[in-house]
Amino acid sequence: MKYKHIIFDIDGTLLDTEYAVLHSLQDTIIQYSHRKISLDELNFALGIPGDVALKNIGIADVIGANEFWNYKMQEYRQHTTLFRGICEMLDVLHNKGVVLGVVTSKTRKEYETDFVPYGICDYFNTIICADDVVNPKPAPDPLFAYLNINKILAKETIYIGDTIYDSLCANQAGIDFGLALWGCHNQQGIECKYKFETPNVITAKYGK
């Protein structure tokens, strides 16, 4: 099926941020609760807003901890890269007239500091961040906001992400979901209409 709009998640879909996110979160927990949690136990934090992850861990000073976490993220920036094939995929889709967007669990500030420097923002027509809506992912609100801004129907778009939070958001919004296998480490329980092995598969499918 051809879609007028293709919407992407950022972390684990466009950007390979897992190392930076988990190691900086581990540092934050040590700083704020004086305990070390294994990286495997912190995988749940991938794909949800930072304040939600910190609350789930039991950190009281969520605001301070989130600021510290963002600060520590910058120390691991050298480990963050665009996934291979992302730039080529975006270029082909854009040139074929597909409207591209982003729906992310990052706040607007995090979007500007963590994503803008990679130089691909001009490809995206609409950016919906966690603090643009009352209820961020996995609630459907961010995708509803995207549909409302662009005055389009759910059937005209597909959302591509790597976590169950992305899947839940899409399914509740009535939008087809494509699972980005290149950034997904556990497919179990993730409902999706399509599974994409690499960005090149999306290029071939929708860039014709």
pLDDT single digits (tens) 65-102: 999 998 998 899 899 999 999 999 999 999 999 999 99
Q: Are residues 26 and 11 in the same domain?
A: no
Residues of the domain holding 201: 5-16+80-206
Q: Are residues 122 and 147 in the same domain?
A: yes
Q: Is 58 exposed, middle or buried (0-12, 13-18, 19+ CB in 10 A)?
A: exposed
Q: Are residues 90 and 184 in the same domain?
A: yes
Range 123-135 average pLDDT: 97
From first CA to last CA, the distance across the chain in angstroms is 12
Per the structure, the count of domains in the chain is: 2
Boundary-marking domain end, from 44, 62, 79: 79
Q: Are residues 91 and 182 in the same domain?
A: yes
Q: Are residues 142 and 46 in the same domain?
A: no
Q: Are residues 100 and 29 in the same domain?
A: no
Note the pTM of the prediction, 2 decimals.
0.90
Q: Are residues 12 and 24 in the same domain?
A: no
C-alpha span between 53 and 72 (Å, rounded): 16
The predicted structure's pLDDT at residue 47: 76
Q: In the structure, how many helices (H) and strands (E) does the chain have?
A: 8, 8
Boundary-marking domain end, from 79, 97, 118: 79
- Token pair for 126: 């609409």
Q: Are residues 87 and 163 in the same domain?
A: yes
The predicted structure's pLDDT at residue 19: 94
CATH of residue 187's domain is: 3.40.50.1000
pLDDT in tens, 159-181: 999 999 999 999 999 999 999 99
Helical spans, DSSP H, in the chain: 18-33, 50-57, 62-75, 86-95, 108-114, 141-150, 164-173, 199-206
Q: Are residues 72 and 175 in the same domain?
A: no
Task: Look at strands 176-180 and 194-196 and give their pairing.
Answer: parallel
Q: Are residues 87 and 122 in the same domain?
A: yes
- Coil, strand or helix: which one is 80? coil
Boundary-marking domain end, from 28, 56, 79: 79
